[in-house]
Amino acid sequence: MALISTLTPVFVAILCVVIAFIFKTQRSSESSSAQKSSSGGGSGSEARPWVDEDLQDDTEISGRENEEDDWAVVGTEDLPHVPYAPRRYPEEEMLERSKHFYALLNERRSVRYISPEPVPREVIDNVIRAAGTAPSGAHTEPWTFVVVADAEIKHKIREIVEEEEEVNYKQRMGDKWVHDLRRLRTNWVKEYLDTAPYLILIFKQTYGTMPDGKKRTHYYNEISVSISCGLLLAALQNVGLVTVTSTPLNCGPQLRVLLRRPANEKLLLLLPVGYPAPDATVPDLSRKELNDIMVFV
Ligand SMILES: Cc1cc2nc3c(=O)[nH]c(=O)nc-3n(C[C@H](O)[C@H](O)[C@H](O)COP(=O)(O)O)c2cc1C
């Protein structure tokens, strides 16, 4: 009995040590799995809250694949902030302007028949200036607009696109894709690539290059460039020009090389730009009603 009562405190002490050990092991495994999930699952990598996996814009990839020393540290200087007072309209005028702008944009259609009639170069410069006002992650402006007016280069672009698109339609993309596109009456023949006075190819810069050769991370580059493309489409509509937002599959690398763009640039869109051909037609599509696209809470 005396022995048992002597040993009880020893048992209790051992039990406490065992419980503490189990608790500690559990805590450390929880914290390491939380760390993994916040860093996108990569072992040992620090958390990168700006990297949204849905965006798939190479922000993360470009940061991981390269040596730390290749990357510039930017934006450490304190920027002066200046007063900003954009113009403000009386409510009646606001309403009028909102209707007018909607009416203008509602006339926009993708046009695949483009007239060769020349378009003033200065107009193109200005629509691209307008596109360049888009917001961009950390003010990186990760876009390059390549404007092609040269007939020979336009034709080379057509050859690349038609060759790849023929494979897309006949083999690569499968029956469902071809079936879904049938009502638009599109195929791999892209005459507009020759006839449009300008082809605008929009490249996203997956990272930037500093004057000293170091790389600069372009956060959210794909979404930034997409916003810029939206502004470009609106600016074209504003001056009465037409285009079709085309995304020629599997042509990006060849077009990048043809246009001598660097490896950090990836083709996002190819826009043939001009006046509509006099006999242009468009598919008779209608847009969704406001209630189908807006949820008001
Ligand atoms: C992301 C995106 C990619 C597109 N890619 C192509 C394309 O490669 N070729 C094409 O002829 N049209 C393309 N289109 C145009 C769509 O077919 C067109 O926008 C759609 O049919 C709606 O017609 P609308 O632009 O006249 O309203 C694309 C549109 C979007 C938004």
Query: Is 219 part of any domain?
Result: yes
Query: Is 262 part of any domain?
Result: yes
Query: Is 188 part of any domain?
Result: yes
Over pLDDT 90: what percentage of the chain?
64
Mutate to test the pocket of ligand 1, among 247, 268, 287 (most ligand atoms within 8 A of CB): 247
Confidence (pLDDT) at 182: 86
pLDDT confidence band for 42 (50 / 70 / 90) = very low
In degrees, rounded to 5, the angle at the alpha carbon of residue 193 between the alpha carbons of residues 190 and 195 is 110
**pTM (2 decimals)?**
0.80
Does 12 or 213 have the greater pLDDT score?
213
- CATH code at position 132: 3.40.109.10
Query: Is 191 part of any domain?
Result: yes
Question: Atom 5, ligand 1: which residue's CA is nearest?
Answer: 246
Mutate to test the pocket of ligand 1, among 105, 107, 108, 110 (most ligand atoms within 8 A of CB): 110
Query: Is 40 part of any domain?
Result: no
What range does the domain containing 152 cover?
116-275
Looking at residues 207-217, what average pLDDT do you find?
91
What pLDDT, in 10s, does the model give residues 265-275? 999 999 999 99
Does 15 or 187 have the greater pLDDT score?
187
Query: Is 68 part of any domain?
Result: no
Torsion angle, CA of 141/143/144/148, rounded to 10 degrees? Answer: -130
Query: Is 91 part of any domain?
Result: no
Confidence (pLDDT) at 122: 98
CA-112 nearest atom, ligand 1: 11
Query: Is 287 part of any domain?
Result: no
Looking at residues 134-163, what average pLDDT do you find?
96
Is the pLDDT at 169 greater than 60? The verdict is yes
Is the pLDDT at 288 greater than 70? The verdict is yes
User: Looking at the 3D structure of the chain, how many domains does it have?
Assistant: 1
